Chain A
Amino acid sequence: MRQPVAPAVFDDVDRRIVNALQGGFPLVPRPYAAAAEALGLAEDELIARIGALTASGVLSRFGPMFDAEKAGGAVSLAAMVVPADRFDEVAAVLMEMPAIAHNYERCHTLNMWFVIATETRAGIGAAQREIEKKTGLKVLLFPKVREYFIGMRVEA
């Protein structure tokens, strides 16, 4: 459950791959070959390195990143005030629910923050009620009203 503390070890070629390929992967029959050429690498080396970066956890995955809401689904940030002596029990309830994508402990009175993602808008309220019923705690919803930017790109 604890987050990994040590950063992964990777070399300059890995760094160039991570920095160059956070988007724009070619839509051609041999995309790794095309991307490899731009990086001065061989196709099989790029494939092997992406595999290794994924295996070591530097990359969560390699592929399309979807906008769940534009795909017809619903997403909401949510938060709860969880008493310290019930924290693990409540975290376990959320762990079991497929509708909960992420859950973080944060230093605030609202100390548990999570993302509810469902296939329909009604699913968000249903998940909220399910958590409230199972825990007896109030779930505050913070759905996005407007998105200003979602870069998610990061310099390796």
Chain B
Amino acid sequence: MTDTALDTLDRALVAATQEGLPLTPTPYADVAARIGTTEADVIARLARLLDAGIVRRIGAVPNHYRLGLSHNGMTVWDVADAEVDRLGALIGALDFVTHCYRRPRALPDWPYNLFAMVHGRSRDEVEAKRAEIAALLGTAVRGSDILYSTRILKKTGLRIVG
């Protein structure tokens, strides 16, 4: 954990930027002024956080719904534990899958161990993508389901600090 531990200034940097960068010509200098360091230090820290994977990337974070991708289906699959890593990598590589995870089963009610999130402009588009995943998984699938979101009840975004 030492390589990914955040020091006090890192945490201040996260708190100052997790809702967005300033929309000014010199955003890093402005953040630096706010947290009490230099522009060069902010840039160096962000570069280090990117390298460590603590920052996944820097840029535009689109809202799927406002882009017209109003249908989202959480596709879930029951595949053998011995195969799930190979299959997960295969499904995760599809360009229309936004998240792909292995998660624990909750037997007997929930036999699924592979989750892949799919977005589309219509339910048909989501179903077509689900069929594409099913075709890739082939006979490895012992069971599957799709859980459409019918309502957003809360969406505050994920706060890291504060």
Binding site for B on A (CB under 8 A): 1-5, 7-8, 17-18, 21-25, 27-33, 43, 47, 50-51, 53-54, 56-68, 70-73, 75, 77, 91, 94-95, 98, 100-110, 112-115, 117, 119, 140-154, 156
A residues less than 8 Å from B57 (CB atoms)? 22-25, 64-65
Min distance, Cβ B92 to any Cβ of chain A, angstroms: 3
Which 8 pairs, one residue from A and one from B, show the smallest C-beta to C-beta distance?
A149-B92, A148-B92, A7-B68, A23-B57, A148-B88, A105-B151, A103-B154, A103-B153
Q: Verify A60–B63 contact, CB threshold 8 A.
A: yes
Sample (23) of A-B pairs whose CB atoms are under 8 Å apart: A3-B151, A7-B70, A23-B58, A24-B59, A25-B21, A50-B23, A59-B61, A62-B59, A62-B60, A63-B21, A64-B17, A66-B158, A72-B6, A91-B153, A107-B150, A117-B158, A144-B103, A146-B101, A148-B85, A148-B101, A151-B98, A154-B62, A154-B64
**A66-B56, A70-B54 are known contacts. Are A1 and B153 too (CB-CB below 8 A)?**
yes
Q: Verify B63–A57 contact, CB threshold 8 A.
A: yes
**A25-B59, A62-B20, A108-B147 are known contacts. Are A95 and B27 too (CB-CB below 8 A)?**
no
B residues less than 8 Å from A152 (CB atoms)? 56, 61, 98-99
Please encode chain B, from 82 to 100, with 1 for each CB lying within 8 Å of some chain A CB and 0 for all others. 0011001101110101111
Q: Verify A61–B20 contact, CB threshold 8 A.
A: yes
Q: Verify B100–A149 contact, CB threshold 8 A.
A: yes
> Given the complex of chains A and B, what is the CA–CA distance between A61 and B20 in angstroms?
5
A residues less than 8 Å from B65 (CB atoms)? 3-4, 7
Q: Verify A70–B63 contact, CB threshold 8 A.
A: no
Binding site for A on B (CB under 8 A): 1, 4-6, 14, 17-21, 23-29, 39, 43, 46-47, 49, 52-70, 74, 84-85, 88-89, 91-93, 95, 97-104, 106, 109-110, 113, 115, 119, 145, 147-161
> Given the complex of chains A and B, what is the CA–CA distance between A72 and B161 in angstroms?
10
B residues less than 8 Å from A29 (CB atoms)? 26, 28-29, 39, 43
Min distance, Cβ A112 to any Cβ of chain B, angstroms: 7
Q: Which of B59, B85, B115, B151 makes the CB contact (< 8 A) with A22?
A: B59
